[in-house]
Structure 1
């Protein structure tokens, strides 16, 4: 019993950890490419926060020239006090945004490195013991520790730091272009506004359509916050059975996918039809045909009405023609290409399903 739990838990945890490591490695690569480019912009922009030595030199030369001219004319020359340097507002805003962007980018890289380290440590601790019951308890203890300290949430939020860094960079880019050219600034601002609007749409879509493949790092936290505020809101929210906490989006997806409703039945039917269309070889088709009686009757030998409809759909579909495929499979037993054992097994499977198909048609 515990060995089965260990096998399932190990498979789940390894998949979870590998997905985390993949996400973090992608973040590290992006941050490594983004940060040097941002530094190049900063090197150019921060110079505007202090007086330009070239401008100071020009001012001094102008004063010397005026002083020499005044001396030649015999007139008095008064040196006007130099106004204190004040950096342009656009330069201040630009540099603030870009330095914040650089800090967020480096922070995201640091957190990504830590998450990779924590993930490796998690799997190492889980594999330190060989006895199934001990490993099972270690797996359980460590996993619910992840749930307790919201590591899933941390992994979801970490990419948000990098996305926020990009947002600050783009905003700083607009501020940087303001004194350069108004037309370029407006065009850039419009394009970035469109990108921001698309990002917002991608963030909100999964909150209303749980099967939506598009989401951002904000989607998960917003999902949990919305379910915490409105525990009865769709789509079919709930709580984690194991911990009593508000479920994460992945748990909601799994529960919605297996919920007993008409949508699931329609998806099952489409999946079976697609499977039959994909099975072009008899060796691939045989396991599918062999499993039909188990699907129809199960262990209690009672016909499943739902799967009867699905099998009937396979029979009626002109692109599938299940009975014709079964008859063709049956005829392949006489080609002499199979061993006697394989031919006998295929013949029994095909003949039993041809009978079941006819029975299903008669009903």
Structure 2
């Protein structure tokens, strides 16, 4: 039992490490949409200087409408808020899973150390029975099962943010990724509900 917990935690740690790095790389790009761009501010002031110099020489120049006045309070686009909310939440859940997986490894090692001392078989059996009762009463198996579930939730949040992010950038790329995400979602739902209809199904999802 404890060995299986430790093996599950090892796999989760590897996945969360790679997944968190990927999400963090995208968040570093998307978070720029939540704050005013310093380049846009510089362009606005340079355009103002150019306009003043041009007007002084009798040349009428207007500031392009695409340049926003920095004195006006900045309001990020709603899609940027949603994308960053989903990705930051996904990243937070993923890192939480990594922490819980690390704790699970420690719990498993401690359980193995305590329940496998160099005592007689009878005494070892009593120790195992004692701690097995504690494991059941404190619902440790539920905590173990919750780890993959949280990881799946994190992955779904990431995909939701990714689709929203791509929708506002390029519809062709969005369509390609949306098709793949849709296929994966359909397979996931199929795997989740298959044990209900096929009791001999080896497939399982939290």
TM-score by length of structure 1 reads 0.52
In the alignment, structure 1 residue 146 sits paired with structure 2 residue 135: yes
Structure 2 gaps, min length 5: 63-68
Tell me the secondary structure at the aligned position of residue 25 of structure 2. helix
Q: CA deviation at 1:115?
A: 0.9
Distance 2:177 2:14 in 1: 26
Distance 1:190 1:82 in 2: 43
* 1:163-178 aligned within 5 A: 163-178=152-167
Aligned to 1:180: 169
Tell me the secondary structure at the aligned position of residue 207 of structure 1. helix
Distance 1:81 1:192 in 2: 39
| Structure 1 consecutive aligned stretches of length 4 or more whose deviation exceeds 4 Å | none
Q: CA deviation at 1:32?
A: 1.3
* 1:209-248 aligned within 5 A: 209-216=198-205, 218=206
Q: Does the 8 Å CA contact 1:90/1:178 hold for their aligned counterparts?
A: no
Aligned to 2:37: 52
Distance 1:99 1:204 in 2: 30
Structure 1 gaps, min length 5: 1-15, 219-363
Q: CA deviation at 1:42?
A: 1.0
What is the aligned counterpart of 2:112 among 115, 123, 142?
123
Q: CA deviation at 1:129?
A: 5.6
Task: Single out whichever of 66-75 and 190-199 deviates more from structure 2.
Answer: 66-75
**Computing the radius of gyration over CA atoms, which structure comes out larger, 1 or 2?**
1
Q: Deviations over 1:275-299 (max 9, x none)?
A: xxxxxxxxxxxxxxxxxxxxxxxxx
Aligned to 2:144: 155
Distance 1:74 1:126 in 2: 88
* 1:9-48 aligned within 5 A: 16-48=1-33
Distance 1:92 1:64 in 2: 33
What is the aligned counterpart of 2:121 among 132, 143, 147?
132
Q: Does the 8 Å CA contact 2:41/2:70 hold for their aligned counterparts?
A: no
What is the aligned counterpart of 1:202 among 186, 191, 197?
191
Distance 2:172 2:80 in 1: 18
Aligned to 2:93: 104
Q: Does the 8 Å CA contact 2:191/2:204 hold for their aligned counterparts?
A: yes
Q: CA deviation at 1:189?
A: 2.0
Distance 1:61 1:74 in 2: 16
Greater RCO (CA < 8 Å, at least 6 residues apart): 2
Q: CA deviation at 1:210?
A: 2.8
Q: CA deviation at 1:123?
A: 1.5
Aligned to 1:289: none
Distance 1:124 1:23 in 2: 18
Q: Deviations over 1:13-39 (max 9, x none)?
A: xxx222221111011111111111211
* CA distance 1:74–1:122, change in 2 (3 Å): closer
Equivalent residues, number:
199
Distance 2:198 2:106 in 1: 34
Q: CA deviation at 1:113?
A: 0.9
Tell me the secondary structure at the aligned position of residue 57 of structure 2. helix
Aligned to 1:253: none
In the alignment, structure 1 residue 86 sits paired with structure 2 residue 72: no
